[in-house]
Structure 1
């Protein structure tokens, strides 16, 4: 068939990964209403669940109480001062640019909105990994080097359990996700669709995590390795989308007749207590 002019069709749509950071099954995502819009500037709170809850031994049942000598000073109950935690805003955006002669304002706006809807989860994951996970983590990687994924998950869950008694969140790069099925490390909860470990922690599989794959301090992973993190539960505040400019006129650069439309959204991602990290091998 002879070559001819190509037909213009609709763009190929897509769907964000179902177990990403915005998956409703693993995180609490709240749309911020107008009366609470100030929360998108960042939030702080008193940590809950990070202070240990201890058992109180019965002094009448201790070995010291059986003797005739004085057992010394009586035991004292300990108190814990909750720490103030905080979460900073993360703004993600998508911009569309084309000649104003071939693109209307509405077409540019729709394209930017569709781009944001498809890619905002990946961008949010990358930003959260870079600014929170990699900056606050305790590195559990042994001196001998990376471990296999089952050993890595076990170490992370142990680290979290020592400081937080609730259900936590395992953060896994998409490039290492297939390895989770090798040892039945995670299973899909039929009721919620969430991926959970045997201990009950939820797993987020992130394309944005895979794009960075850095360790504590944002040091790039060595070839053939990946980083896993674990945190407490995630609470995400999501702002409305903003279109800039909000009308056709200012979207055109009169110097070159190009049209630009930007769509952005602000998130605040909060988690609690300890962040732990470990490096795993992804090659046999």
Structure 2
């Protein structure tokens, strides 16, 4: 075929990973309206369902013999709900190019497309940094990292002991394939979401792979990865702001170097409840 000038065509579109934190069917996403915009500054609430239920053994029905004094009669236990909170995660993307031949509308479209494709990754990074790394209890045994199947089992046992509902397992993208080796995870035919045999939801995130850090922000050793489990997720999502907006399109050009810059940004608030647990697993046997 004769050589010649390349033809200009439409850009190749992309789509976010389907089982990330914003794509999982079990994640409840709330689009914040103008009348509740203050919620994007962060929210707090009283925990619900994090107190265990108990079986009551009636001492009058205790027929076991004994010579010793039974001591004080048993009493029913009470639990105070804790105040939980979620902080804002500002997410942004920026488009830059030489102004000649790069219009404001092109820069705006670039920034918006990058935000649509990349915001999930950024939310996962922010959630790991601000919540998972800081609040998780490390369940890795002193003998070292577990297998992926053992790690999931330990996490599910941890959440089950503290919370009676369905939780969320957070998995780096690089570990996602390994979840199918032992039928640890299957796809729900109705929702298309991933869940374990126990019933917990599974989020597989590229942002978790990007950091791959444990409690305290400690990076995983080579050949290992960090898995987490939390309660259910509720994410507040703010509107998209494009800076500068169309009314100030000229302000996107830096007159010193003639470069055009446009930013698209929005704020997320990722909330979860009750226990957060972590475990280090082997990804190379």
Which TM-score band (shorter chain)?
over 0.9
- Match runs of 1:103-252 below 5 Å: 103-247=102-246, 248-252=249-253
**SS at 1:142 equivalent:** coil
Instruction: Kindly state the Cα deviation for residue 59 of structure 1 after the two structures are TM-superposed.
Output: 2.0
Q: Does 1:22 align with 2:22?
A: yes
Q: Which residue of 2 aligns with 1:262?
A: 263
Inter-partner Cα distance in structure 1 for 2:12 and 2:108: 17
Inter-partner Cα distance in structure 2 for 1:133 and 1:72: 43
Q: Which residue of 1 aligns with 2:77?
A: 78
User: Contact 2:24–2:203 (CA<8 Å) still a contact in 1?
Assistant: no
Shift of the 6–69 alpha-carbon distance from structure 1 to 2, 3 Å rule, reads closer
Instruction: Kindly state the Cα deviation for residue 2 of structure 1 after the two structures are TM-superposed.
Output: 4.9
Q: Which residue of 2 aligns with 1:61?
A: 61
Instruction: Encode CA deviations 1:17-60: one digit per residue, 9 max, x unaligned.
Output: 11100015120011001111100000000011111111222222
- Calculate the TM-score normalised by the size of structure 2: 0.96
Inter-partner Cα distance in structure 1 for 2:72 and 2:279: 42
Q: Which residue of 1 aligns with 2:99?
A: 100
Q: For the aligned residues, what is the CA RMSD?
A: 1.5
Inter-partner Cα distance in structure 2 for 1:178 and 1:72: 55
In structure 1, runs of 5+ residues without a counterpart are none
Inter-partner Cα distance in structure 2 for 1:273 and 1:258: 48
Instruction: Kindly state the Cα deviation for residue 138 of structure 1 after the two structures are TM-superposed.
Output: 0.6
Instruction: Kindly state the Cα deviation for residue 110 of structure 1 after the two structures are TM-superposed.
Output: 0.7
Q: Which residue of 2 aligns with 1:10?
A: 10
User: Contact 2:195–2:201 (CA<8 Å) still a contact in 1?
Assistant: yes
Instruction: Kindly state the Cα deviation for residue 6 of structure 1 after the two structures are TM-superposed.
Output: 2.2
Instruction: Encode CA deviations 1:166-205: one digit per residue, 9 max, x unaligned.
Output: 1000000000100000000011011111111011000000
User: Contact 2:32–2:236 (CA<8 Å) still a contact in 1?
Assistant: yes
Instruction: Kindly state the Cα deviation for residue 76 of structure 1 after the two structures are TM-superposed.
Output: 1.4
Instruction: Kindly state the Cα deviation for residue 210 of structure 1 after the two structures are TM-superposed.
Output: 0.8
- Calculate the TM-score normalised by the size of structure 1: 0.96
